[in-house]
Amino acid sequence: MNELIQESKVAAFVEHLPQTMLAIDKELVSKAIATIKTTDFPTTRTEAWKYTRLARIAAISTANQTAREGKNLSREDIHSSYQITKDGLTFVFENGVFRSDLSSGEFPAGATIKPLTGCTKEELAIVGKSLTLENEVFNAMNTAYAVDGMYISIQDKAIIDAPIQLIHLITGKNTVSNLRNIIQIGKFAKAEIMQSYFALDAEASFTNVVTEVIVAENAHLTINKLQYEEEGNYHISTEQVDQAKDSTFTINTMSLNGTLVRNNLNIEVNGVNCMTNLHGAYVLKSNQHVDNHTIVDHKQPHCESNELYKGVMDEKSTGVFNGKVFVRKDAQKINAFQSNGNVLLSDDASINSKPELEIYADDVKCSHGSTTGQLDEEAVFYLRARGISEKSARHLMVSAFIEDVVTKIENEAFLNYTHSLLKERFGWDF
């Protein structure tokens, strides 16, 4: 047959990217490449991407990637501008490449922490274990073109006090960073990881992060994520989490800047007695678009999950929340709560909310709620009557609304840092 196989747009997109040098299973990589060849970028006809248009990402001219010009970054620059806390380890990546010259801190006992480029084939055997590649273009792209990322493995019973900080800098024009992180928390171990994304003289840059997380029995893991990539840059991130029995997993996602941000959280609760907390705040203005997609899949009984997402949309921004809770057959005694609140501050802003429940067991308590509204004018009046200017009154109310979820962050340094960014971008006082 002379039939021409039309190349997908994704294939053209990745043409100029270097294939992964990581010690990942070759078969997996070729499978990912095969997926890329046959799949196109999802459109709004795909249910999972119904509200998010990817044309701007697809239009990035990957052939013309240009590096950032200007003075070289120093460790001091990182410490003064991007480091959230001086405690613990700080790893810095630029466009997905590990920068040892900018990283600092002391390695804690009981943990193996290194960039993926330094990992053996055995260590990377778990890559792609529970990640779907079919029809998931960004997962496939990440698997085939991952440059680097973090490998964090915490030994059983190790308690890592200081947070592990990963700072990702996006620089240059039309750059594409495929980052892959592997996080393994051993039995009875505890750790806290901070991930922050910043842009520095970047334009039309695209970050595609996949983080695979394994939380073993009785382990505790908290991930604090901060997205502040400036307008004109795009970010897609996927967290694939596997929770074993009696474990606790918490993730706080703060999306405060960046033109297009999409977060996919896929939490598989594979053990009994687990606790899962997903918190997210998205505060948007100009033409920003933030899309939070969460899936909590309860496969075992006696678990609890809490989900709280709050957003403020101003100017021409768009927010999307799509939360899904699965309770599988026989996963009895599940308490799953999902809550989404939105405030629209402008007539050009919009919100699409889709809180879904799919329940196949009967002895469960599941609820979800979603609200969309605006500031209460009477409350604004109350504050103004007490001598507070209208602007301050509105700031006060919006910040109080979002503070509900921001204060879920337990790490004080991270909380303060988030507050400072909110002040910098929106002028709110806390």
Under rule CB under 8 A, residue 315 binds another protein: no
Ordered alpha helix ranges (H), 260-389:
377-385
Among 27, 47, 69, 76, binds another protein (CB under 8 A): 47
Output DSSP code: residue 124. Answer: G
Element (H, E) at 415: helix 412-426
Among 155, 372, 392, 416, binds another protein (CB under 8 A): 372
Name the one range near another protein by CB under 8 A: 73-81, 83-91, 186-194, 369-377: 369-377
On whether the CB atoms of residues 142 and 24 are closer than 8 A, the answer is no
Among 46, 81, 374, 389, binds another protein (CB under 8 A): 374
Largest CA distance in the chain: 80
Among 273, 352, 392, 416, binds another protein (CB under 8 A): 352
Q: What is the DSSP string of 46-71?
A: SGGGTT---HHHHT--GGG-BPPPSS
Name the one range near another protein by CB under 8 A: 79-87, 126-134, 199-207, 351-359: 351-359
Q: At closest approach, how far in Å is the CB of 236 from another protein? A: 22
Among 67, 369, 382, 424, binds another protein (CB under 8 A): 369
Closer residue to another protein (CB): 112 or 371? 371
Chain-centroid distance of CA 412 in Å reads 20
Under rule CB under 8 A, residue 397 binds another protein: no
CA dist 303 and 267 (Å) reads 13
Q: Burial level of 328, CB count in 10 A (0-12/13-18/19+)?
A: middle
Chain-centroid distance of CA 62 in Å reads 23
Token pair belonging to 186 = 């051993």
Tell me the helix, strand and coil percentages in the chain, rounded to 5: 20, 40, 35
Under rule CB under 8 A, residue 365 binds another protein: yes
Name the one range near another protein by CB under 8 A: 22-30, 94-102, 159-167, 329-337: 329-337
Terminal C-alpha separation, the chain: 67
Name the one range near another protein by CB under 8 A: 70-78, 126-134, 201-209, 372-380: 372-380
Under rule CB under 8 A, residue 390 binds another protein: no
Measuring CA to CA, which residue among 37, 4, 304, 21 is closest to residue 149?
A: 21
Among 46, 112, 371, 420, binds another protein (CB under 8 A): 371
Under rule CB under 8 A, residue 382 binds another protein: no
Among 306, 370, 392, 416, binds another protein (CB under 8 A): 370
Binding site for another protein (CB under 8 A): 47, 329-330, 332, 342, 344-347, 349-374
